Structure 1
Amino acid sequence: MAIWIALLALVWLLTARPTPWSLLDFIDDAQVQVIFNEAQSYFTEWYQANYGDEQLINKAGLPTQWSRPPSGWLKLNTDAALDSNNLKMGFGFVLRDSSGEFKAAVQVPYNSLCRPDEAEAMAVREALKWLKSQNILNFIQLECDCIKVINSVPTSSTITYFDLIMQDIRDIARDFCNLSFLFVKRSANMVAHLLAREALFKTDRVDCFSVPFPFVVDALEFDSR
């Protein structure tokens, strides 16, 4: 599958912008291979950020629907969406309590484009910053559907940009008490996914409290069943 996606990306790169000549006339085989490798690498990172080790996830028996946090805890779900055409990202997060009651939701547009795993990590970082701004610092479960982010929380490295974002997350997390990071399947993270996708169409951050955005009401009701 990755091969076909990479080939489609290659075709788009070569044909998306019309010119009076063929780009293939100016690209040798080595350059084509570089473009192909970059497209395949990007797809691999996107797949790992969204699905991780598929066999491990399936064997783990993870729930396919959102679950309530323990009594007295809050749960914050986060997600990121990417718009490669407009070089934008959107972050979304939603806060609910142990009875499943909606507490708040946030949409954050971001006028830049990062790799998928970096975007997912940035969404978690933005979510933690928002929690701090609301003085919500205790008994928090943070769920993310990027297994790489969750697995990287305990580790420490500053080699890549992703590592630097994760270090920011660890630094911010020190200000919390009883904060846990959990991996969740995409199907159990749909409200955050919808928020992130809609954030792509915003120009500024949008917060809502008590009453949810209309476009996530159905997903919230489904989760509360």
Structure 2
Amino acid sequence: MLWKNRNDRVWKQHSLGSKEVVESAKFVLNQWRYVQDKSFNHYLGYVTQDDGHEHWHLPQIDRVKVNTDTAIFEGSMCYSHAFVARDHHGQLIEARSRCLQGTIAPEIAEAIEMKEALSWIKEMQYSNAEVETDSLQVVQAIRSSITSSSYWGRVVDECRSLLVSLKAKNVLLRFVKRSANRVSHYLARYSCSIADRT
């Protein structure tokens, strides 16, 4: 993370503060440990037994499942995010995609999409919702108590606040493998070539 931060400063004229570098290093280390060591204590990495599914599953009866994902298009200097909401029959409730100009770190794009999905759940006043993402870093950050004054930290804090406001609505956050998140992944990848859609 020190080397990445140094390269960002030299080549992109952008760098993180020391606190943000340490936070990023901790998240990356936790991700690496989880992937490498099946005996790793999941709770140290803010990962639970419900995380890590490799296949998409129907939500329980009367629950809504929202899958989120993003895509970065470095060649065209844009990024996109998408979410797909389905009911306990697997039927589509709503899907949204949006493509934005600019360059952004993947973890920030993933956190922004998580915030969009949680805001949608709150706006639609859904109870018993599950939000799934294939970004372990975002899930760990939201579940942890570490705060940061960076843009990344502010977006994560907004996600935490939304989850707190939805606590009575029984909204769950889960990390899943990319294979369990294919529909939102394809929608995010495709949204670069079409206008924003709902």
Q: What TM-score comes out, normalization by structure 1 length?
A: 0.64
The one-letter amino acid of 2:140's match is N
Could you list the structure 1 runs, at least 4 aligned residues long, displaced by more than 4 angstroms after superposition.
none
How far apart are the structure 2 equivalents of 1:72 and 1:54? 36
- Aligned residues of 2:31 and 2:137 also touching (Cα < 8 A): no
How far apart are the structure 1 equivalents of 2:160 and 2:93? 25
How far apart are the structure 2 equivalents of 1:146 and 1:88? 19
- Aligned residues of 1:156 and 1:167 also touching (Cα < 8 A): no
Partner of 2:71: 81
The one-letter amino acid of 2:95's match is A
How far apart are the structure 2 equivalents of 1:62 and 1:167? 23
How far apart are the structure 1 equivalents of 2:191 and 2:170? 29
Partner of 1:137: 126
Partner of 2:18: none
- Aligned residues of 2:107 and 2:135 also touching (Cα < 8 A): yes
> How many correspondences in the alignment?
166
How far apart are the structure 2 equivalents of 1:81 and 1:108? 10
Percent of pairs identical after alignment?
26
Matches within 5 A, 1:3-42: 34-35=10-11
- Aligned residues of 2:66 and 2:132 also touching (Cα < 8 A): yes
How far apart are the structure 1 equivalents of 2:177 and 2:197? 25
Q: Which residue of 147, 153, 166 maps to 2:136?
A: 147
Q: Which runs of 5+ in 1 are unaligned?
A: 1-5, 7-29, 39-44, 208-225
Tell me whether 1:186 sits opposite 2:178 in the alignment. Answer: yes
- The CA deviation string for residues 13-59 of structure 1, in whole angstroms up to 9 with x for no partner, is xxxxxxxxxxxxxxxxx99x944xx9xxxxxx8xx88xx72551473
- Aligned residues of 1:144 and 1:183 also touching (Cα < 8 A): yes
The one-letter amino acid of 1:67's match is H
Q: Which residue of 71, 84, 95 maps to 1:105?
A: 95
Give the root-mean-square deviation of aligned CA atoms. Answer: 3.0
Shift of 1:142: 0.3
- The CA deviation string for residues 60-101 of structure 1, in whole angstroms up to 9 with x for no partner, is 793321012222211100000001122111111101112222
- Aligned residues of 1:137 and 1:175 also touching (Cα < 8 A): no
Larger radius of gyration: 1
Partner of 1:121: 111
How far apart are the structure 2 equivalents of 1:114 and 1:172? 22
- The CA deviation string for residues 194-213 of structure 1, in whole angstroms up to 9 with x for no partner, is 1111122233x211xxxxxx
- The CA deviation string for residues 127-159 of structure 1, in whole angstroms up to 9 with x for no partner, is 1222333x2331110001000110111324133
How far apart are the structure 1 equivalents of 2:116 and 2:181? 17
The one-letter amino acid of 1:137's match is Y
